[in-house]
Amino acid sequence: MTPADIHSHFELQRQASREHVDVPLLVRRERLLRMRKLLDENGPVLAAAVQADFGMRSPRLTEVADFLVLRTLLSHTLKHLARWSKPQRVRTPLHLQPAQGYIHRQPLGVVGVISPWNYPVQLALAPAITALAAGNRVMLKPSELTPHTSAQLARLVAQFFTPDEFCVVQGDANLSALFASLPFDHLVFTGSTAVGRKVAQAAAQHLTPTTLELGGKSPCIIDGHCDMQDAALKIAHGKLLNAGQTCIAPDYVLLPRGREAEFAQAYRAAVARLFPTIEGNGDYASIITARHHARLRTMLQQAQTQGAEVHVIDPAEGKPPVPTQGTLGDGASRQMLPVLVFGATSGMQLMQEEIFGPVLPVIAYEKLDDAIAHINAGPRPLALYWFGQSESVRDDVLRRTVSGGVTVNDTLMHIAHDNLPFGGVGDSGWGAYHGEQGFLRFCHQKSVLVQSRWSMGSLFYPPYGPRFDQLMGMLRRWL
């Protein structure tokens, strides 16, 4: 699209949102049902597009990582939409009675969504679903790194929605910058912290409120009393889903000193259980581009040069080669083997940046206070994971750390809970969506007070005198 095309689509949606401020519940439900129909009828087409963009990413992986999340979101939203949309009555304080007050939940207008490449269907459509449920119009700008998926989304959205309801804008990073500068009523961005800062600055020109879902270094704490085999399996699943290209993937592990070898052995076993082979295995995604792959290799080379121990895990080592199937382009060559790194220090790139790949640093701590101090010394993470058996230790960790979300004795799963808001804090983002919290994020909660004909508000009018002093004295005693 040209800049003129983008402005034209925006003005179309803006005008529609101003002419039809109130969007009936029936219309909102019908739009969500159309979205469900889009997914039900075109899942295989979208999954094939995702595989084409990654080079290696099986339709089954996309089914669980993208479509399942969207289907549960749609089901949950349709079930609760009527209740969420109702005006919310509130209690009226004594000094304003017998007036009545309520909160009217209205659409904001036009919501912009800039989505990333790592889960190119889920993270494009999830905020759009919630924004549509709240009665908004939506413009979506998907990532230029997933051109096949973006093209299919544009085609399908145009097939199921009118341009003044929901449209997709395609283009490069320059077009994304233009998109972020439009005077949306709300803008959602999912991506890196560095780009999130630029998006926030662009949106600030129009005082556009934003929801920023960023990333960061999400820690995983292993307590001294936990089942190491179970913890390693769940950490490996969270780390290696989509080859680590997940914003809430465990970024590094903190464990008691002396248990490094035990964890390494358990993690190797977990990798072999989840992925008996790597190359040609569609369940294990490719790194998205050669540039991203090179970045990860550079990180490892720097760490090794500075004294870290790099343990590459090849579950197929010593086994006969398995014929590669279903590859597209150079996808198999970008399937990076899982790596454990011991002895990483704060000066290394892999401890300063979000890794976003199958590389897992392991850091030993002497006591829990050291682990907590390490976490609190850096920016606040998007997620935190704790493995252990003691409720008191668990609660101590939760009290003394701040993160966007937490899963205890597992990884990733808090994002799948539709009643839990998902979002970051500090450098990992702001604002949250999912469930009712997401619905409210895309609503204006308009305060309404309906005055009674029996109102005694005139008692507070000037001129003030002895009667006013008596009234205020009574109120001070009652309040």
CA distances from 128 to 113, 158, 375 (A): 7, 14, 33
The reply to whether 219-420 shares the fold of 3-214+432-444 is no
Q: What are phi and psi of 355, to 5 degrees?
A: -75, -50
CB 113 within 8 A of CB 139: yes
Q: Name the residue among 218, 223, 251, 255 with its Cα closest to residue 403.
A: 218
- Helical axes 25-54 vs 147-160, angle rounded to 10°: 160
Q: What is the pLDDT of residue 330?
A: 67
Q: Which class is 219-420 in CATH?
A: alpha beta
Q: Tokens for 341, please give them.
A: 């790194």
Predicted confidence (pLDDT) at residue 323 exceeds the cutoff of 80: no
Q: Are strands 252-256 and 443-450 parallel, antiparallel or unpaired?
A: unpaired
* Active site residue ranges: 213, 247
- Other C-beta atoms closer than 10 Å to the C-beta of 11 total 13
pLDDT band at 457 (very low <50, low <70, confident <90, very high): confident
Longest dimension (CA), the chain: 98
Give the single-character DSSP code of 65.
I
CB 54 within 8 A of CB 117: no
Give the single-character DSSP code of 110.
E
Predicted confidence (pLDDT) at residue 69 exceeds the cutoff of 70: yes
Mean pLDDT across 54-80:
96
Q: What is the pLDDT of residue 322?
A: 53
Mean pLDDT across 443-451:
95
Q: What is the pLDDT of residue 282?
A: 92
pLDDT band at 319 (very low <50, low <70, confident <90, very high): low
Helix (H) or strand (E) holding 407: strand 405-408
In the numeric block, the tokens 């009643």 are attached to: 419
DSSP character string of 197-244: HHHHHHHHTTT--EEEE-----EEEEPSSS-HHHHHHHHHHHHHGGGG
Could you tell me where the DSSP H helices lie in 275-422? 290-305, 368-376, 391-400
Q: Which fold has domain 3-214+432-444?
A: Aldehyde Dehydrogenase; Chain A, domain 1 (3.40.605)
Sketch the domain layout of the chain as residue ranges.
3-214+432-444, 219-420
Mean pLDDT across 17-28:
96
3-state SS, residue 434: coil
Residues 373-416: tens digit of each pLDDT: 999 999 999 999 999 999 999 999 999 999 999 999 999 999 99
Please state, in angstroms and rounded to a whole number, the distance separating the CA atoms of residues 396 and 67: 36
Average pLDDT, the chain: 94
Q: Name the residue among 32, 140, 121, 38 with its Cα closest to residue 84.
A: 32
Amino acid letter at 229?
Q
In the numeric block, the tokens 């913890």 are attached to: 231
Residues 181-207: tens digit of each pLDDT: 999 999 999 999 999 999 999 999 999
In the numeric block, the tokens 């399996």 are attached to: 233
pLDDT band at 283 (very low <50, low <70, confident <90, very high): very high
Q: Tokens for 371, please give them.
A: 């682990």
**Burial degree of 462 (CB within 10 A; 0-12, 13-18, 19+):** exposed
In the numeric block, the tokens 């109102």 are attached to: 455
CA distances from 450 to 32, 83, 93, 97, 454 (A): 33, 22, 13, 10, 12
Higher per-residue pLDDT: 285 or 322: 285
Predicted confidence (pLDDT) at residue 326 exceeds the cutoff of 50: no
Helix and strand numbers (H, E) in the chain are 15, 18
Please state, in angstroms and rounded to a whole number, the distance separating the CA atoms of residues 164 and 274: 45
Reduced DSSP (H G I as helix, E B as strand, rest coil) percent helix, strand, coil of the chain, to 5:
45, 15, 35
